[in-house]
Chains A and B, each alone.
Chain A
């Protein structure tokens, strides 16, 4: 009997948020979300947010020792030739590409910028917590093909106040930082 590892990932983007190995090898099968378990995500300053199982899926894979130590460095990618959101994920986890994203908070939205034009539609999932928020804020969207980024509208964020932000863009490195909100987002033509 060999050990197994269950990874918990954001269904929309594939980014891992947690992992658990079982030396008994007896583990529940992979489940496409929503799942029944939630997950407590904690930021560097201790701010915490419960990520509901509605956002999550699980995969049962062979254990990789580095994954439980740094799950945010890994993702469960989709099949490369499948349109986004259509293909099942292979039973595999991989280290995320070193493709950073930049995030800017505005009082009325969040700008996610790839720094280059997207070659395909890229799903976005963002968690904002702390600051003036009594409850964590979950925002989802898409960066469309041939665009460089997107601005996702949010409930009001207080200008000048710092928030903890976890921003995940499909096939891009995890963004995790503390940001202060600027004034209203620039109006796009």
Chain B
């Protein structure tokens, strides 16, 4: 358990010791760190892009010169790490850190940024009686890890609530490099390995409130990049779509305050509770009845979607399929529906007609043959709306 936070106070005529001033600075730094770790997720805040430029040795062998651009990151303790200038990754540092896996030339080595306080040397021009350094450099150091070390970042116990700034900071992943053991140079720089890449700082918030009446979420700032906006204009709308050149959302999907939905495209997917989806047409005997678009057979089988099916036998014309040719008509036929229903288990349509041959009446009486036919169908798929209070 950490100690309660102590803030220095001063009185008129007080003789200030170095510890008093240090406490004032330390309190401010600690408060800022507590804000950052409580209200933000760790990661890169800006910059810190790892890039490689193709180079070649005098013998023409290719390698890459890898640079980490200037930027700011925040670690899990809330410590701010500032890389003040673009920094080339040092091959000798890579060798010295001894992370190389010699048997795997394709291995990707994680690159981390680490914040560390470094006391500046005592200036020769400092006043008499100066016994220690008067400045601390908040340095940002680049480190390399063995393959897999990226999985160990952001682990472990979180800081105690009253803890101040950690020194050194925790490591922040900025990318990966591949090493050429023969050239003793970097082969290339990549951002992602095994689905893991640099994280970017985010926000921890249970409520986000805009101040100008429009709350926006953007994948990034840029024309045609997707964005979501809650706009209080027109009594309130939810908008989703690409951004225009002014950063406004061009709505491809819109919901107004009354719940009216306007979509430029199709709304697909499984039937949502309370919705009705339909399909209709004509189908021949023996085929499986089609479902409305987006309705899954497994949802029907599981009872999540109810089907309402209406079948009507389709008048089959004046001769049986493949029957006597016309004209001339050597026989006169009429048809009556024999069956027109659905096998619920298989969803297969059953539709047959009894064709009666009138021409045989004088000699043999009425004769008939049964043929498959076709029917009109209408399928409504409904997903029951859940009653209030039900899960």
Residues of chain A whose beta carbon lies under 8 Å from any beta carbon of chain B: 3, 5, 8, 17-24, 26-27, 37, 39-42, 44-46, 48, 63, 65, 68-73, 173-174, 176
Across the interface, do A69 and B281 meet the contact criterion of CB distance under 8 Å?
A: no
Q: Is the CB of A21 within 8 A of B282?
A: yes
When chains A and B are docked, how far (Å) is the Cα of A94 from the Cα of B228? Answer: 51
Q: Is the CB of A8 within 8 A of B287?
A: yes
The binding surface of chain B is classed by DSSP as: strand
Residues of A within 8 A of B290 (CB): 20, 22, 27
- List residues of chain A with CB within 8 A of the CB of B286: 17-18, 39-42, 48
Chain B residue numbers with a CB within 8 Å of A21 are: 281-283
Of all A-B residue pairs in the complex, the 8 with the closest CB atoms, nearest first, are A21-B281, A40-B286, A70-B321, A68-B374, A26-B293, A18-B284, A20-B283, A68-B282
**B314 within 8 Å of A (CB atoms):** yes
* B residues 262-309 in Cβ contact with A at 8 Å: 278-288, 290, 292-293
Measured between beta carbons, the chain A residues less than 8 angstroms from B279 are 22-24
B371 interface residue (CB < 8 Å to A)? yes
Say whether B317 contacts A22, CB under 8 Å: no
Asked if residues A46 and B281 are in contact (CB atoms below 8 Å), the reply is: no
| CB–CB A20/B287 < 8 A | yes
Contact A20 B284 (CB under 8 A): yes
Contact of A69 among B278, B287, B370, B373 (CB under 8 A): B373
A48 to B279, CA, bound (A): 27
7 residue pairs from A and B, CB less than 8 Å apart: A22-B279, A46-B370, A48-B286, A69-B316, A69-B374, A71-B321, A73-B321
Given contacts A24-B292, A26-B293, contact A42 B285 (CB under 8 A): yes
Question: When chains A and B are docked, how far (Å) is the Cα of A17 from the Cα of B348?
Answer: 14
> Is B369's beta carbon under 8 Å from chain A?
yes
- Which residue on B lies nearest to A6, using beta carbons? B290
Contact of B281 among A17, A22, A44, A48 (CB under 8 A): A22
Please indicate the chain B residues that have their CB under 8 angstroms from the CB of A22 in the complex.
279-281, 290
Q: What is the bound-complex CA distance between A142 and B380, given in angstroms?
A: 45
**Chain B contacts of A48 at CB under 8 A?**
286
Inside 8 A of A174's CB, which chain B residues have their CB? 322
- Bits for B355-391, please: 1 = Cβ < 8 Å to A, else 0: 0000000000000011111100000000000000000
Q: How far is A65 from B374 in the complex, measured between Cα atoms in Å? A: 11
Q: Chain B residues near A42: list those with CB within 8 A.
A: 285-286, 352, 372
